[in-house]
Structure 1
């Protein structure tokens, strides 16, 4: 769909006469996020931001998706591959724009390029492959995410042991939420000597019905506790695999 469609939404402006001088960049709301593409990734992102009381606007060119999400999140129907459409819906007023279009490579690249031309301070792009990600970075995306790959990698770690959650930071440093191995049950942090024996660090302990507490030498570990543990990913894998 190539025609610009702005049937409904917020912050929609009338078309600018190309003979007029371009107006100054409007004041940017640093908390505002524009989400382009309302597939599973885009709608999850937009609805979560909306629930956090962030100023968010979803952009989608598929009228069926517009009807599905109308009234649930702020949105506008438009073809973001058209730079004039981005101008009309006020894209310049947003500090952060997320391009959630992934499967249509040409559209993803065109939209990202349009945002770069508009001088958007923070552009996030969804990529479905390493090659796709490199293209987005080369044309000016500030951040590239790989939702499918990241989710698959995370789930692989979760199904392989006692881990309940897994966050890999960088250079192999990882933070996990996990159940404690049996050998730690009934012992304090000082007695267990986890860092000395396994090379990982227990950051905190959450007991059922008790507020989270940062780990101290005297903190006791029970079988129904949840541990927050940090360290190298390979060491954490071996630690979490203990019975």
Structure 2
């Protein structure tokens, strides 16, 4: 089992849109990547962009071993279309005792199975993006990021009741149950919000709190 370092290489298994985008982004950030897919044409198309990209069956323990996958600390199962292959691959990585396994899930049931297998981090890109866009479309938010099951960060405009008053005098937590963590004035960069920060019309703020409370706060605009 490999040990973690800041420059630990990553094995990405499955080169669909998600896996390919992830592998290319990791390489662009200077991370060494071993990319694996069972489709020769896909592997060939990425040979010029990814240094280590191979055709292999990730549901075959011998194939993974020959490729040196047990030596990796980080592995990502990016297989989406073939649930059986996704689950079998994840189970083999768990068996190999890879320390940090990420996997893409295409449904809640798929996610539960991966979690039960022992996958450390399960992501649902389509679901998460759909949920994020739904918040943006139906609300007055400029951006929305759910960071836990019931906690979110929202980028929005300050409601008129807060304009011109130092945040320390607004009693945000007791009144709205939220915290303004950062503010961006027109033509400037984001800075940390303090008790002395005075919000103005046109400012953009980042607010944290439970999902229900940040949604309600954003609707005050």
Task: Give the alignment's TM-score, normalised by structure 2.
Answer: 0.88
Q: Which runs of 5+ in 2 are unaligned?
A: none
- 1:62 matches 2:39: yes
Preserved contact between residue 28 and residue 92 of structure 1 (Cα < 8 Å): no
Provide the aligned C-alpha RMSD in A.
Answer: 2.0
Q: How far has the Cα of 1:198 moved from its partner?
A: 1.6
| 1:98-142 Cα deviation digits (max 9, x unpaired) | 101122111112211221222211221211122222222233322
Q: Which moved more, 1:203-212 or 1:148-157?
A: 203-212
Aligned to 1:228: 206
Task: Give the alignment's TM-score, normalised by structure 1.
Answer: 0.81
Q: Which has the larger radius of gyration?
A: 1
Q: How far has the Cα of 1:191 moved from its partner?
A: 4.3
Secondary structure of the structure 2 residue equivalent to 1:159: helix
Alignment of structure 1 residues 194-209 onto 2, 5 Å:
194-209=172-187
| 1:64-121 Cα deviation digits (max 9, x unpaired) | 3223322223322222122222112110121011101122111112211221222211
- 1:90 matches 2:68: yes
Q: Match for 2:166 among 173, 176, 188?
A: 188
Aligned to 1:3: none
Instruction: State the distance in 1 between where 2:198 and 2:10 align.
Output: 43
Q: Match for 1:135 among 100, 110, 113?
A: 113
Q: Which moved more, 1:229-238 or 1:55-64?
A: 55-64
Q: How far has the Cα of 1:28 moved from its partner?
A: 4.4
Preserved contact between residue 29 and residue 93 of structure 1 (Cα < 8 Å): no
Residue-pair matches, total? 218
Secondary structure of the structure 1 residue equivalent to 2:35: strand
